[in-house]
Amino acid sequence: MSDRDDQQRSSGSADGNGGSPFDLDLDALNLSADVTALPEDIDELRVEIDRMDAVILAAIQRRSAVSKKIGAHRMAAGGPRLVHSREMKVLDRFSALGSEGHTLAMLLLRLGRGPLGR
């Protein structure tokens, strides 16, 4: 079995990306929600929390910047500030997290487009 096969198996999906259509090497970031192999030591677990927060923060900052860039392009071309269909897709995506996913998705959208009504 190849290393690639191993990666695909360990991530638990056929494409090795947790169902993502993107060519993301999520295995390299070690993002598996299976934490059974982690130590039981709280200090060590907190190091992993801190690492995850760094990844999440960087991802949110990049997402916000990309979203602002799209918005600027669209509005410069005379388009609308918001695209409802795209926002629905984001909300749907984060419903994987349950009801709090909606709150998180709304927050991500707000970070990208700025507060409404300005």
Ligand X SMILES: O=C(O)C(=O)C[C@]1(C(=O)O)C=C[C@@H](O)C=C1
Choice from 7, 26, 87, 102 touching ligand X (CB under 6 A): 87
User: Would you count residue 60 as binding ligand X (CB under 6 A)?
Assistant: no
Q: CB under 6 A: which stretch of 10-18, 40-48, 86-94, 96-104 binds ligand X?
A: 86-94
| 4: exposed, middle or buried (Cβ count in 10 Å: 0-12, 13-18, 19+) | exposed
> By CB under 6 A, is residue 82 in contact with ligand X?
yes
Stretch in the footprint of ligand X (CB under 6 A) among 8-16, 26-34, 79-87, 93-101:
79-87
**Should residue 105 be labelled a site residue for ligand X when binding is judged by CB under 6 A?**
no
CB of residue 98 to ligand X, shortest distance in Å: 20
Q: Are 75 and 97 in contact (CB under 8 A)?
A: no
Least distance in Å: CB of 78 to ligand X?
14
Query: ∠109-25-30 over CA atoms, to 5°?
Result: 85
Among residues 60, 83, 104, 106, which is the contact residue for ligand X, using CB under 6 A?
Answer: 83
Could you give the dihedral angle defined by the CA atoms of residues 41, 46, 52 and 53, in that order, rounded to the nearest 10 degrees? 170
Using CA atoms, how far apart are residues 38 and 23, in angstroms rounded to an integer? 26
Helices and strands (H, E) in the chain, number of each type: 5, 0
The residues that touch ligand X, with contacts defined as CB under 6 A, are 67, 70-71, 82-83, 86-87, 90, 109, 112-113
